[in-house]
Amino acid sequence: MEGDLAEIATMLDCEPPVLKWAASLARTLDWGPLRTRLLRGSSLAKAPWHEDVAKVVAAQSPEERTLLATLAACDAPFAWDVLEAVIPDVSIDGICRLEDARLLRRSESAGVVAFVVPYAMRAHLQEERSAAAERWLDAWVARAEVLHRAGYGPSARVTLAELRIAVPLAARALFSDATAERGLSLWIATSDATFFGDAIAFDAPAFSRAVAVADAADVIEPRVHARLVASRALLERGDPKDAGSFSRTARRTISRDMARSGASFGRSHGCTKIARAQRRARST
């Protein structure tokens, strides 16, 4: 249940009114099923705070409402590079006004500035924001693939901090048939950051879902990576037996002519072995 609570709190941006609403639903559904429904974007009961949010949105200018609807289509924080990819002519003043009105939340980690539209606002604008949702996913996939190549070296801390904020978006995209393959691409590109700074609970359904999506696509490299990420998550949870099974399957999946995947496997497998050794050291 702890993993369910942690991930639900993250998805709902830890907003007290929204968490209270989630707790009322969990009394009927329980936290596990509620977590699954939130990941899938399932329609839930109309929240009691919708009317308050509607009043705040209505008070904005038409231009700001249009900008807010586009920003709300991103189910995760976003950095400025991703924002400009989705809205090339974005107004800095417009972003500042939305932040001043508390319709946009700003955070900073390792020098990476990120913005997010609070969950209550995203839920209220769900119908208006659907058209832009795939543009955000495409922009994040492109950005993450660039960042993934800089995941090691002097800029690693900054790179991982930015990749980390896309992990929840990747997890959500995996559970929609329309976006599952792109969600898998983003999941793999952000995999180095998955274990950085509590990006996602280690018992999250996204780990096994990524394996299922990769198997359905039947492309070797994603199948290997998805299993290695799932293997390390199992190690972090203290399940070395199942972790070893995923790792061995990944090793068998690699063909001899896959030089690129072989190198990636070696790096990821090395991280898995380090995680296993660290867990053994903590248990002695």
125-135: pLDDT as tens digits: 776 656 788 89
Q: What was the pLDDT predicted at 52?
A: 72
Q: How far apart are the first and last CA of the chain?
A: 27
Instruction: For residue 12, give the DSSP letter.
Output: T
**Of the candidate ranges 66-80, 147-161, 168-182, 201-215, the one whose mean pLDDT is the lowest:** 147-161
pLDDT bucket at 75, cuts 50 / 70 / 90: confident
Tell me the two tokens of residue 174.
């995996």
Average pLDDT over residues 269-277: 54
- pLDDT > 90: what percent of the chain? 32
Task: Identify the band that residue 273 occupies on the pLDDT scale cut at 50, 70 and 90.
Answer: low
Q: Report the share of the chain in percent with pLDDT over 70.
A: 68
The SS3 of residue 114 is strand
Q: Does the pLDDT of residue 271 top 60, yes or no?
A: no
* Longest distance between any two alpha carbons in the chain, whole Å: 62
> What's residue 45's pLDDT?
47
Higher pLDDT, 50 or 198: 198
CA distances from 280 to 167, 168, 232, 237, 273 (A): 27, 29, 14, 12, 11
* Element holding 62 (H helix, E strand): helix 62-71
Nearest 5°: the CA angle 133, 71, 77 is 90
Residue with the larger pLDDT of the pair 87 and 155? 87
pLDDT in tens, 203-245: 888 999 999 999 998 888 888 889 989 998 888 888 887 788 7
Structure tokens at 59: 């008070």
pLDDT of residue 86: 95
Residue 140 identity = W
Separate counts of helices (H) and strands (E) for the chain: 16, 3
Residue 177 has pLDDT above 60, yes or no: yes
